Chain A
Amino acid sequence: MGERSKPDVLIVGAGHNGLVAACYLARAGLKVQVLERNPYIGGAAVSRKLYGDFTYSNCSYVCSLLRPEIMRTLELPRFGLQIIPYDGGCTMMRDGGHLALYDNHDALRREIARHSKRDAEAYDRYARDVIRQCKFIKPLLMREPPDPTSFKPRDIRELLYLGGHFQRLGEARMYDTLRFWTMSAADFLDEYFESEIVKAHMAGSAIIGTALGPRSPGTAYVLLHHYMGDIDDTVGAWGFARGGMGAVTRSLAASLQASGGTIRTSAGVERILVRNGRSVGVALADGEEISARLVLSNMDVKRTFLNTVDSKELPEDFLRQVRNFKIRGSSGKLNIALDGLPSFPAIPVGSPSTRGDMHVTDTIEMMERAYDDWKEGAWSRAPYIDMLIPSQIDPTMAPDGKHYMSVFVQYCPYQLASGPWDAAKRKAFGDTVIDTIAQHSPDFKSLILHAEVRTPFDIENEVGLTEGNIFQGELTFDQLLFNRPIPGYAQYRTPLRGLYLCGSSTHPGGGVMGAPGANAARAVLRDLRLTGT
């Protein structure tokens, strides 16, 4: 396949951000090669056939955050990406009741009104405030955060932009923004809703992927982060990738190849080679060395600098900060092949609710107690789950009449207080989740054909994400904007010339968004003076 001449850019890791960066660089005319450790590409955006003819989106499972401008510029639809929306969603309650979320505004209002008339209308204020904040943050997503300690014109310009952006809001909305960025989801939701079930349902997205509980300050921001896909007013912004999340990375790979980039799988990078403070290429596990002008790491900041770069090459202060960067495993995942569609007696027959995200945590307290278990180094005895059956919408995910269920689980620690993970503990964790679901679905257990149980430890081993953290680093305010990942190195550049970060450890963070990859590529192109921006 083509000549083996020296590539301009090597990208370590064929996750979605690595591929996004690769695509942008290849389109700018650079010779790009992506190196992937696994025999398949995709990182945490994969579709895998692990049982029969079932397709598992076995890591990330919904496509809500992928920036539309990236999809458009990289022509992902032309290369096979199709996002299909789903409607509905619900939380089933321990007393047999439920709260459904409907797309139709009036149906939703009357549904919430069953639980609280006031909340039914407060929901509009809540949605308005969320949209206002998303609109405020959106322009920041695709920008490089400024370094507030720098006197460079670009940084000062960006700081002034940020300041002006904020100042324009006026006092009341600045206050709202501050509340969003600093409050706990529980306190925040208390300002809108009175009904426990409504609050519990809304709070779910505030804890997904994070080592915080709904009462921890800063979780309102995580909530917002998950809503970011909702704002583009375009149909199909939120939904399943047809064919599973692997379709995202497959289309990126195809887009890359069409622009002349190449991908090597089963090519695990052992070391990033450094000469005179400059990265000059990589060494693979089998000893092969590939040199290149630039290296972009799609790995998280810890894996990049603590495992792949010789520590002698890095300032001690920087290394200390890398060690202090918080990447915590807090989520597990079950992928389940089902012989048929399980029934959920709490949900009316024919409801769209079961075609969306389903939950079983009906109070904030239950969610917070699930977090308390995690703090003590145990998986939650009554975990928060985000459960979807994509095969109802996407027929390619399972054989006819069968179904694929994706169950995201919060909380599950990377390290158990009781000692290392083993097969028995993994099974016990899986059983906890399955029992939790079975409490709401009497036939669920009898329909299970196969279940893949993934702990943070497994996710780290397979995907390479430190501690299996889905965001490549906690989304707390000490790790956002100019602090992400390391103060002074928030602009995709690193202490080593020629080495860049392009993964979710960088601004604006995790989720299958692609913004870090696109921003990193822009930083590279600017350094190479290949763009005017």
Chain B
Amino acid sequence: MVERRAKFDCIVVGGGHNGLACAAYLARAGRSVLVLEAAARLGGAAATREFAPGFRVSAGAHLLHQMPARLIDELQLERHGLRWAAQSMPTAALAAGAAPLLMDGERLDGPATPADVAAYQDFRSQMGRFAAALHPMLDSMPPRLGTDRWSDRLSLLGIGWRIRRLGRRDMRELLRIAGMNAYDLLTEHFSSTLLQGAFGFDAVLGSNFGPRAPGTVMTLLYRMAAQHGAGERGLALPAGGLGAVSDALAAAARAAGAEIRLAALVARVTVTNDRVTGVTLQSGESIAAGAVISSADPKSSLLGLLGPEHLDTSFVRRVHHLRTRGLAAKLHLALDGLPQFGGLPAAAGNARLLIAPGLDYIERAFNHSKYGEYSRAPALELTLPTVSDASLAPAGKHVLSAIVHYAPYELRGGWEQHRDAFVSGIIDTLEQYAPGLRGLVRASELLAPPDIEREFRIRGGHWHHADLALDQFFAVRPVPGATQHRTPLPGYFLCGAGCHPGGGVMGIAGRNAARQVIALADNA
């Protein structure tokens, strides 16, 4: 057992994008920082992996569209190696055996009535106004509820003011729709089922809900507000996959002086006199630090690394009840050629493709998951990264990356029993939209939620770490007692997707956690 005596100002547990962003900001503020990553490579779920010989793919998220442009600039990620394979990518809502609907910014092309086109533009601009008003809420640390502190009250008032500034009409509409379900809202606006389905998919992506669930408009607004921060770049594909983002973040952190250690599994955080004073690795090595910031999910951070014996019962109960079961799977296909999606114009070859032809389609896909079954006809978000970035596959070969809804963490009968049938079902679905695709498949990899749990050490395999639902959102995320990146123990902080504003490759949680650590140290 090695006792290493070096002491750091800060230890960041986990080298995912939030952990790295946190480390970079801390190091830039002059802190000595050590990042400890359990795996042999960085990035967590924002990594690029080789899933078949010569074929590489973004392991988790496969698009970058929510990371604030300001964060990319502040950390100079482009200087640290981030390049773009594609930007401002359009979205195509696919229809089986018919022309797709192509959404490219303001433009809507394809089988839509003039009324739908107009409604699309109105809806986009209204949601755009809402997103702009809400983005500061997403970008900054939420106030804490029920305190007497003026900073929290002012922060609440600020939110109220931003919403009021929308004007009476917009404000009323925002207050009405905020708690609504996407199904009702989208059928109010559009007659095209394809269009309804496309927005409906965005509303439920990464969540544990179907479009009829109240609260799904909130998740849609959330997504749009996050994208607002990304600015002009829109949907983008980093060259080399999402792993390139993590690499750039790591480079930025290192450049600022942070030390990063791989294959360093943290067994627990050390507690001395009711304060977190460092970590102990599985190897037995102990490392002291003034602050420990965990980018792991809340259950792992609080119940695993720290442990209930340092926490109060009701608090533990809350963390224990966090809904953290993932519902999305990731499918990677290595293809011998480029699949032909019917009716897709060549100019839209790099588009994000959606298979969600209608709200009822998504709702039916969701039905299965309620009973621990996988969707027979799943809703899918597809990218063909090799169209824009040939480096990801051998010459002439292609990669298809799909986010698959719904694939419940707890599958009746277990995943091993159903894995092949599920993959085959997804390929059947794809075949309906891209005839001949099955014949191109040379290799496949399915990451079901239990695989995501194992691979990326996220309990429940949920890429948001915890459901984005109204009771796990904003000022109460992840749970009261652990908001504002703090935990009940001084010296211990959270910076992962379990914090506000949640998952998606944003880096905001990491940045805000770093700011909080610094602010508290300055005030101490």
- List A residues at the B interface (Cβ < 8 Å): 148-149, 167, 169-175, 178-179, 181-184, 187, 190-191, 212, 215-218, 317, 324, 326, 365, 368-369, 372, 375, 476-478, 482-483, 487-488
Contacts and interface: CB of A to CB of B under 8 A. Distances in A.
Rank and list the top 4 A-B pairs by shortest CB-CB distance, nearest first: A182-B470, A171-B146, A477-B179, A487-B172
A217 B473 CA distance: 14
B381 interface: no
Given A191-B321, A217-B209, A477-B179, 8 more contacts: A148-B175, A149-B164, A171-B145, A172-B146, A182-B215, A217-B215, A476-B214, A478-B179
B214 A218 contact: yes
Given A171-B144, A171-B146, A182-B470, A482 B175 contact: yes
A181 B171 CA distance: 21
Interface string B451-487: 0000000000000000001110000100111000000
Contacts of A217: 209, 213-215, 469-470
A372 B371 CA distance: 12
A487 B180 CA distance: 13
Contacts of A170: 146
A346 B161 CA distance: 59
B176 interface: yes
Contact of A149 (B171, B188, B215, B469): B171
Interface string B160-199: 0000100011011101111111001000100000000000
B419 interface: no
B145 A478 contact: no
A148 B147 CA distance: 22
A375 B361 CA distance: 12
Contacts of B471: 175, 178-179, 182-183
B315 to A, nearest CB: 9
Interface in B288-315: 314
Contact of B476 (A178, A184, A324): A178
7 contacts: A148-B175, A172-B146, A174-B480, A184-B213, A212-B214, A218-B215, A478-B178
B365 to A, nearest CB: 13
B367 A488 contact: no
Contacts of B209: 217
Contacts of B147: 171
Chain A contact surface mostly: helix
Contacts of B367: 372
A212 B318 CA distance: 26
A156 B476 CA distance: 26
Report which residue of B169, B176, B469, B476 has the largest number of chain A beta carbons within 10 angstroms of its beta carbon.
B176
B186 to A, nearest CB: 12
B171 A148 contact: yes
Contacts of B418: none
Interface in B132-161: 144-147
Contacts of B317: 191
A487 B173 contact: yes
Contacts of A183: 469-471
B469 A324 contact: no
Nearest to A220: B471
A216 B209 CA distance: 8
B28 interface: no
A478 B177 contact: yes
Contacts of B314: 172
A173 B145 CA distance: 10
Contacts of B480: 171-172, 174-175
B363 interface: yes
B470 to A, nearest CB: 4
A483 B370 contact: no
Best-buried of B209, B371, B470 by chain A (most CB within 10 Å): B470
Contacts of B144: 171
Given A175-B145, A175-B480, A187-B323, A483 B213 contact: no
